[in-house]
Structure 1
């Protein structure tokens, strides 16, 4: 028997049910749970709907990092609601200004060998510390907080062997951009990417965070690194060296798939508008004009990601027509930049300092001017995500963003007339844990305070045996969750109010969708191409559709996270047996799907009638029996409550 890789060790040590054979359904114990404010309000409402009392996972933490802009009462009300909910359920609370969930959680609670489920798709960044970090929708997060295991299909493990050493002016962002170029948005669906090999020796824990964070942009379930000396140094820096546990792949470990990446051959890379996988070498687009360079976000949250730019601009000045936006990832980082003098260098060069949080990454401020190019170190550049509808956003490293800001045009940083700045990680950083509000040792019932914008979860009815109605939208390939429910300063304040938020559904795709859905008294179908729902884990992209009457999604393929969220909110998902049948549909075709009772885990091929065209289409059902039951119940909350009710009835307690 061959040895185990790190991913399999993590899975094996948390396996509650099933076996590690590829495509088998497994259940995993979840040690830590993370939510942020944009998704966390629904998590708290779901805990309430499920009848939760106190959370049971080892660590549950709620961060306020997305909706920090207080233009009116809505976001402030959300913060009060979240804080009172945390006190009520026994959850750590991180107030506005502490920073972005992923790096703050890494600094405060990251422990090698643990599992983490997060209500944000970039929770996979926890893999940088030898953890198994997975992003999920709010219902999955609420259930994990309550102690329920996570169910998923056993992923295949892609082992990426890193060799060589990065050259000057090339950093971790260039590594992950090169991999996204190779694998595209779909290349790692249902895979865990595990990094190993001699090239790891010079990649710090925060370098690894950059790489693990954007594994989501390849569609990976998560990314995993070993817990080695670099992880020990990081935990020592956070005054938590006692939490270090070595976790390495066995010497004879094998992988389901293998790849090799020579770090010494990587050049500065850049993703062109408007997808993270449209990656080219910086020198191929050099010279294009730039009006904004943005440094920060969860994708580049390390101290070196700000200190290197500070030392690049030291004694220089950014041209007046260029905005160099600095978005610190945490209060800890801002403290150190102030202490070591790097913040002074940035401000002296004309940089524009923003508050700690997700900011421009989620479109909450820092929107670029229309018709102008913006270079950003963020993980995504989907159309309109920046807050500017017709935006032109490039993704790149801090080095490339800074060089381009200095020159006013896209610039390969290797072409600057300066030496690569020297940077060394400090031995210790400010302890962030003292800035978070801990759960009370003795649980006390607390009044949960809900402002006028916080509305109860919609009640979802059970699925009927017959679905019939119009195909209200026909969507092409690569429609992201950003396209379904946008972020930004207009929509984000309503993420705790599903009826109001539903007004934004597909607003960037078809502005008439909301009104047409309201006026439709029948069931609504959606027809889609490949990669429907890739990107963010926001369950709002499913619950709003279900609220508006969507009952069935028929697609060429659906991204894994979005697939789970659709099921959790009672929406039937079917795929084309023959993908070319997609062309047989038009918007507003009248469709009929009969005999839902025949939709079982064993019945894979089902019939759909296109009444308008007078044809039958064959669809494939890859749902498990449990997933079908969840859909029939009208969603996972109804399903879980039904199970609990039956359990109490069996015990004679109901």
Structure 2
């Protein structure tokens, strides 16, 4: 729909022979008020509103509210934001396409045209989450892992190939190409987007939402984008705006330069710790200051990537000469680079030296103060100085646990993300036999060392540092320890190109860092099995071992079920820990090993200098990018050989264990469900703080004795072919059985024991959460989840909300919610409720055996953040009433909830029209 342009601010921009039309922010400011010092991220939002002003979803008052933000440095105004495009990865993308296919079926069943279900905005889906590290430390590892990936995921890939042909505006980047965020950074993003409209070319900021939390990485390129749930992304691509409050913006001023030997990873872990401490959940962070003049684009992208870890909606970097340089290096056309510069300067989006925008609040960092760091053992914001890692590990296993910590009871109270090991755990070790050799495995052993994840593999400086460190280590005669599973999984093929050009590949391979695939691998739990003797040793001796990875997530149970401590580190430190083989040494003071000359070798002996890294980076050139992205959507012969049925609707296979028709839209042609109070509800799980979406809907291994494992076995799937939960997100039968099935989740109804079990209160039986939920459903009993702070942190997993819905959970009551998961719950018709300050499961002395009622929904006009009443009936029959806050936050969300969910709302609208 064309903009009303009530401010008459549409203008032309001529660049050479090209003419672009755009909505001028300076012209709008003539009528709205001065916006010179408005944060640049908010200027992007203001342009979005100007361009989409329609008198209904965007009104003049919305435009004025953006400018009035400067007076209060905050706003309670709800706006409707329309991103230019949508980015998906296959774990979250497959269920999105499944939903679209099911919506087409529902539309046809209702007598409508299924072709109306079609993305209205460009959608790119990058297959990057499916490759697993089955083979490693071998020249054939990449080939073998790709073969296994294609075998395991043939059904999913055939389905995506169908979607690519069936839907307009939908492109698929085949497996073996790269990680979606790195492909986005290196190829897909433009910084300034263009669209042909009524015979003219419209120019506007490149913006997007993505079905992965780390979509934020693209903010390093001056592109405003963040992660949303797959549910919300589907609605966005079907033409629904993203409803949001005008955010607070925290300014982060950078000055100085990193010291010799300090990496971008060290910087981002420091920034993450600072911003977590500051408290930026639900806010934009915008980086500014003259330190940006010397901060490479790849470093900016590394910082922007980890916005979910510091809790912000995004971490935005404005456009400047560094941005243009990267666009040129990565092979963007000259016309694109010229447009980005001219448009950014015309709109006041260009970073000027000394600029001091107005922010809600701010903090600063002299980059010269950053020191070598890791984060761990279980949260990305828990930065630990390199020299303190061994102490942090010992503290974790309880060797020096403070008595006060025990008294606080936090070991069991942190239900999802809490400490996994109690204070009684003692240091252990055990001998094991492997290929005719005896080795001793100890607590603190590094069993996984993985150069993985878009966070760091997109950054040539830290990747070249890893290669150079490997070269020096090999020249000194060092080797990785035999119990270390080492892997190299870059985010794009460009990395392989520049490693080869710099001559570093052979040295990485000699240390076992052979290419295993182009994908997320270890960072999302696709680390694959450890060698059988090592797994047996860990289990038999109950060892607390470690992984070191260059990723962004290190939550419990995520990397590998047997690895309780996980440490985020720069790629060169990943290599160093593979050599050391343990996190219980001090890499600053202790030797990594003994060189071929019999002398001890220290980290400082093989750490590359900044000059050496710079010389290696000089090997990176534009030709590498153009070569690898020339046919990015084509795929190899295996991808092209996949048979694709060409039809508007999908031919569902009843015996498929990967793709099944979901039940969400069965009765969509009827009236929406009536909203009623919740009565006689039981508590399905009583959880603590920091329950992540990994705990709610795991992506990793499927245990044979779990409900999902039993389902697959009953359907003829061998355990070796179970694959992962993430790969089976197109099958609701697997995913609902996997909901709350993480082996590290703790249900306080069972005294805090680990595992996805609960108490079926009427019978007193301990059951898997899925089995208990199904029994409650058969009994007609609604269910409620009770949780602590930060419920739903982590990856933007729509199945964490979908599975909750299918288990019969009507409400989740927590002390606080992560932004995306709260939105996803609403989008699936599950009511998010928040305890008032001073009230929680502990103060209410909840045991999980109570009967609950939620009143205040029935017979009233539902409104955002309205108070509701929670009525608790205890085992002895006594009642207690407390007020809770309804976390349906916007008017749009009210409409979605009333319709039964956001996709239900969209589909009902389409059927009606």
Report the TM-score range of the alignment, normalised by the length of the smaller protein.
over 0.9
Partner of 1:430: 625
Q: Deviations over 1:381-401 (max 9, x none)?
A: 110101224421111112322
Q: Does 1:299 align with 2:455?
A: yes
| Equivalence for 1:560 | 819
Residue range with higher mean Cα deviation, 379-388 or 416-425:
416-425
Q: What does residue 626 of structure 1 align with?
A: 892
Structure 1, unmatched stretches of 5+, are: 649-654
Q: How does 1:399-478 map to 2 (within 5 A)?
A: 399-410=572-583, 412=587, 415-418=603-606, 419-420=608-609, 421-423=612-614, 424-425=617-618, 426-428=620-622, 429-431=624-626, 432-437=628-633, 448=650, 452=656, 453-459=658-664, 462=673, 464-468=675-679, 469-478=681-690
CA shift in 2, pair 1:365/1:177, >3 Å: same
Q: Which residue of 2 aligns with 1:61?
A: 124
1:92 to 158, 162, 171: 171
Tell me how far 1:185 sits from its aligned partner: 8.2
2:273 to 181, 196, 199: 181
Contact 2:80 / 2:242 at 8 angstroms: preserved in 1? yes
CA distance in 1, matches of 2:866, 2:162: 46
Once residues 39 and 98 of structure 1 are traced to their aligned partners in structure 2, the CA distance between those partners, rounded to angstroms, is: 18
| Residue in structure 1 matched with residue 738 of structure 2 by the alignment | 504
Match of residue 243 from structure 1 = 336
- Of the structure 1 ranges 263-272 and 240-249, higher mean CA displacement relative to structure 2 is found in 240-249
Tell me by how many angstroms 1:616 deviates: 1.0
249, 253, 257: which is aligned to 1:157? Answer: 249
Aligned counterpart in structure 1 of residue 190 of structure 2, from 96, 111, 115 = 111
Of 83, 96, 102 in structure 1, the residue corresponding to residue 161 of structure 2 is 83
Alignment of 1:145-544 (within 5 A): 145-184=237-276, 187-240=279-332, 241-244=334-337, 245-246=340-341, 247-249=349-351, 251-286=355-390, 289-302=445-458, 303-315=460-472, 316=474, 317-321=478-482, 322-366=484-528, 370=538, 371-410=544-583, 412=587, 415-418=603-606, 419-420=608-609, 421-423=612-614, 424-425=617-618, 426-428=620-622, 429-431=624-626, 432-437=628-633, 448=650, 452=656, 453-459=658-664, 462=673, 464-468=675-679, 469-490=681-702, 491-508=725-742, 509=745, 510-511=756-757, 512-520=768-776, 521-544=780-803
Deviations 1:297-331 (A, max 9, x none): 11112233322111111151323323432111112
C-alpha change, 1:567 and 1:267, in structure 2 (3 Å) is same
1:207-255 deviations in Å (ceiling 9; x for gaps)? 1111111111111111111222222122112210432313424635211
**Range moving further from structure 2, 506-515 or 72-81:** 72-81
1-structure distance, mates of 2:630, 2:380 = 36
RMSD of Structure 2 on Structure 1 (CA): 2.4
Q: Deviations over 1:181-223 (max 9, x none)?
A: 2233892111111111122222222211111111111111111
Indicate how the Cα distance of structure 1 residues 123 and 301 shifts in structure 2: closer, same or farther if over 3 A, else same.
Answer: same
> How far apart are the structure 1 equivalents of 2:325 and 2:507?
27
CA contact (8 A) 1:463 1:631 kept: no
- 1:635 equivalent to 2:901? Answer yes
Are the equivalent residues in 1 in contact too, given 2:96–2:230 (CA < 8 A)? yes
Q: How far, CA to CA, are the matches of 1:622 and 1:495 in structure 2?
A: 27
2:101/2:650 contact within 8 Å kept: no
Write the distance in 1 (CA, Å) between the matches of 2:687 and 2:46.
Answer: 39
- Which sections of structure 2, spanning at least 5 residues, go unmatched? 1-33, 53-57, 70-74, 105-115, 133-147, 192-204, 342-348, 392-443, 539-543, 589-601, 636-645, 666-671, 703-724, 746-755, 758-767
CA distance 1:603–1:359, change in 2 (3 Å): closer
Q: Could you say what secondary structure the match of 1:478 adopts?
A: coil
Q: Output one character per residue of 1:379-428: Cα deviation in whole Å (capped at 9) or x when no partner.
A: 01110101224421111112322232333344557951144232324231
Max radius of gyration: which structure? 2
Distance 1:202 1:366, change over 3 A: farther
Shift, 1:366, TM fit: 4.3
Structure 1 residues 198 and 506, CA gap change in structure 2 (3 angstroms): same
Cα distance in 2 between the residues matched to 1:314 and 1:540: 43
Q: 1:130–1:224: 8 Å Cα contact kept in structure 2?
A: yes
Contact 2:550 2:574 in 1 (8 A): yes
Cα shift at 1:599:
6.2
Of residues 545, 553, 565, the one that matches 2:804 is 545
1:40 to 2:93 alignment: yes
User: Cα 1:629–1:41, aligned 2, differ >3 Å: closer, same or farther?
Assistant: same
Instruction: Report the alpha carbon displacement of residue 645 of structure 1 after superposing the two structures with TM.
Output: 4.1
What per-residue deviation string (whole Å, max 9, x for no partner) do you get for residues 77-108 of structure 1?
11111122022113121111001000012111
